[in-house]
Amino acid sequence: MGRRLGYSPKPVAELLRELKDLSQLMMSLSYCSLFFGDPSLYREISHLDDRVDYLRSLLIMQAALATRDREDAERMLSVFDMASAVDKISEVAKDISELTHDRLRIELGDYVMRNSRTNFVYTLRITGDSPFRDRSIESAYDMVGEIFDMVAIRRGEDYILSPGEDVVLREGDVIYIKGLAETIRRIISMHGERSGGGVRLDPEKLEGILYVKNLSEFMVDIAYGALFTGSEELAQELESLEDGIDQVTKDLKTGVIADREISDKEKLALIEFIDSCEYLGDAALDMTYSLRMGIPPHPIIETILETTDERYRLLRIPRELAGKELADLGLTKLGVDILAIKVGGYWYLNPPVKGYRLRGDEQIVIQYFEEAEDEVAQLVERLGLSQPPRQA
């Protein structure tokens, strides 16, 4: 019998913050397990999933007690939407890691390194020759000179999740890192180790698999960005993205079934992974239900999204920067993802950083790691980027 659930007072913001961080950590670990063949991560993700279930139950009880009147009850709906979506995300992460537990592994080859424009996860072992050996995580950050996130460390049979910067990396440790492709390439070059093995897919299907993975993750980021900014418009964009991911997953599954080079067992596992990506997109849509219905997020939402591992900001481009390229802002050097840009009343999602020329007065939604908070704040001030008023 599991632990007996009982009410334990804890602030809603604290519960929601931990739920979000846990779900993001679980997704990162689940992709590591699938792409780098680490079935032991299933156990850790299962433990985290139990924790998510427990925290979600506490949040429901605490939020019910915190509701004071009709207006507060309406706005509290956004808290329940987010908690429910986070729970679904954690279940998706567990399902993906279970595929690795059943010995599925997808070989990425060099595709991600050449084509990824967003943050992704990678895993490396600390060897005797590793420049990270016997260094703290803070020292490793300084050595790389670019922003990335140390998601977790596997040390023997144990895991250190979301390790602090004072943790020293030892020979034999397996590190799970997340960052932009350029940063990951730099780390691999410094480290001198590559991973290989697993199910090999032809470039077209591998591109499709990674596209649907990135699209579903992007939808979650857009959902968080919409909640943080209170943007009903941005939330509405998720509906068209959801239609798109439905069609993409159907086409991709049809292609997998028809591929004679893939075994039946591998086909089944790949289809289950594609379905998991679709469920992740559904969770993003669920997260913004009340916002799409015209109910602004509860103030708690803004509070927690400013203190979690991954941060979101809505910024306005000053007219003085008109004519410059988006890349000239220097945001990507800090590991920042530019999720969307609003021009003339329309949101363009996942805009190209290189080649996009600013007009001035656009709005952009960015996502970045907690470690880059100070650097991002300094850059924003230096460039004269402003925070538009939060929508009521």
What residue spans define the domains of the chain? 12-107+200-292, 117-191, 309-383
Q: How many CB atoms lie within 10 A of CB 374?
A: 10
Residue 264, helix vs strand vs coil = helix
**What sign does the CA torsion over 314, 320, 325, 327 have?**
negative
Read off the tokens for 113.
């390194």
Instruction: Please give the pLDDT value at position 392.
Output: 47
Per-residue confidence of the chain (392 residues) as pLDDT tens digits? 445 555 566 788 888 888 988 898 899 888 888 877 778 788 889 989 998 998 888 888 887 776 777 777 787 888 889 999 999 999 999 999 998 877 777 766 555 555 565 677 788 889 888 999 999 999 999 998 888 888 889 898 888 888 989 999 999 998 988 887 778 878 888 876 555 555 667 778 878 888 888 889 889 988 998 888 888 888 988 888 888 888 889 999 999 999 888 888 888 888 999 999 999 999 999 999 999 999 988 888 878 877 787 888 888 899 899 999 988 998 888 888 888 888 877 788 778 888 889 988 888 988 888 888 889 889 988 888 876 655 54
- Asked if 56 and 87 count as a contact pair (C-beta separation under 8 A), the reply is yes
Task: Measure the CA–CA gap between 30 and 278, rounded to whole angstroms.
Answer: 15
- Asked if 313 and 350 count as a contact pair (C-beta separation under 8 A), the reply is no
Tell me the CATH architecture of domain 12-107+200-292. Answer: Up-down Bundle (1.20)
- Asked if 379 and 147 count as a contact pair (C-beta separation under 8 A), the reply is no
Residue 176, helix vs strand vs coil = strand
Task: Measure the CA–CA gap between 176 and 124, rounded to whole angstroms.
Answer: 7
Task: Measure the CA–CA gap between 163 and 137, rounded to whole angstroms.
Answer: 8
Instruction: Please give the pLDDT value at position 389.
Output: 57
Task: Measure the CA–CA gap between 12 and 333, rounded to whole angstroms.
Answer: 34
Task: Measure the CA–CA gap between 260 and 257, rounded to whole angstroms.
Answer: 8
Instruction: Please give the pLDDT value at position 193.
Output: 59
CATH class of this structure's domain 309-383: alpha beta
Intrachain domains 12-107+200-292 and 117-191 with the same fold: no
Cβ neighbours of residue 371 closer than 8 Å, sequence gap 6 or more: 141, 147, 149
**What sign does the CA torsion over 96, 99, 105, 107 have?**
negative
Output b/e per residue, 322-360; b: 16+ Cβ within 10 A.
eeeebeebebbbbbbbbbbbbbeeebebbbebeebebee
Instruction: Please give the pLDDT value at position 32.
Output: 82
Q: How many CB atoms lie within 10 A of CB 115?
A: 14
- Asked if 61 and 221 count as a contact pair (C-beta separation under 8 A), the reply is no
Looking at CATH, the fold of the domain delimited by 117-191 is given as Alpha-Beta Plaits (3.30.70)
What are the beta bridge partners of residue 136?
Answer: 168
- Asked if 353 and 332 count as a contact pair (C-beta separation under 8 A), the reply is yes
Task: Measure the CA–CA gap between 185 and 274, rounded to whole angstroms.
Answer: 27
Cβ neighbours of residue 109 closer than 8 Å, sequence gap 6 or more: 200, 206
How would you classify residue 197: left for phi > 0, otherwise alpha for psi between -120 and 50, otherwise beta? Answer: left
Helix axes 12-36, 70-101, angle to 10 degrees: 20
- With tokens 């690795």, the residue in question is 100
Kindly report the pTM of this predicted structure.
0.80
What are the beta bridge partners of residue 365?
Answer: 314, 340
Which residue blocks in the chain are alpha helix, DSSP H?
A: 12-36, 41-66, 70-101, 111-115, 137-144, 181-191, 203-229, 232-258, 264-287, 289-292, 299-305, 373-383
